[in-house]
Structure 1
Amino acid sequence: MADTIDVNGKQIAVDEEGYLANLNDWEPGVAEVMSKQDNIDLTDEHWDIIKFLREYYEEYQIAPAVRVLTKAVGKKMGKDKGNSKYLYSLFPYGPAKQACRFAGLPKPTGCV
């Protein structure tokens, strides 16, 4: 994977796994570019989770692992969305790992 991604003509640095090198570089275009790399068309459901993750990170300064994410989403958005089946349907490469990358967050703790 490249060490930069092109977002609206701007080169943004990423690490070897594709996570943003600088969290302040995030903008919605980052998620668009990363989702295209993963062959995912972002829907409102994806954006709900991405926005949720960004708010969560702002509050707790940590990217949640999958179990924590599932529980927190369930609390805020309801049981129909707070389950791994729903989250994996949106982010097949791992809801915590992939969604955090799209959201411009660091790799979640406990993710391999």
Structure 2
Amino acid sequence: MYALDNDGFLANLEDWSEDAALWLAAQEGITLTDAHWEVLHALRAFYAQYDLAPAMRPLVKHIGNTLGADKGRSVYLMQLFPGSPAKLAAKIAGLPRPTNCL
């Protein structure tokens, strides 16, 4: 349905939409909730401001600053985006792969 690179990220960042996010999340076995959308929109705002997808530490800090300290924790993000939250959230948010993410 969408053109993806070898790692499953959107080949064209302009292709992202909420429908694309739903499709990408489904490919990862994730059903998006309001909590997911909060993080995805905060992540897209970060990308719009800094022109990069943050690795885990900057992501945790940004989420804490924008959504509150209770959500700016690695454990919270890992519950929403298992495995590598920075990488998985960036993928679903239609952003490039974060640097320093395996």
TM-score tier by shorter-chain length is over 0.9
- Which structure: greater strand fraction? 1
- Cα drift, residue 83 of structure 1: 0.2
Deviations along 1:58-93, one digit per CA (max 9) or x if unpaired, are: 010000000000011101111110000000000003
Structure 2, unmatched stretches of 5+, are none
Structure 1, unmatched stretches of 5+, are 1-5, 7-11
TM-score normalised by the chain length of structure 1:
0.88
1:75 aligns with 2:35: no
> Is the radius of gyration larger for structure 1 or structure 2?
1
RMSD value, Cα: 0.7
- Which structure: greater helix fraction? 2
Distance in 2 (CA, whole Å) between partners of 1:26 and 1:13 is 11
1:53 aligns with 2:43: yes
Secondary structure class of the residue paired with 1:13: coil
* Map of 1:26 onto structure 2: 16
Aligned residues: percent identity? 48
Secondary structure class of the residue paired with 1:14: coil
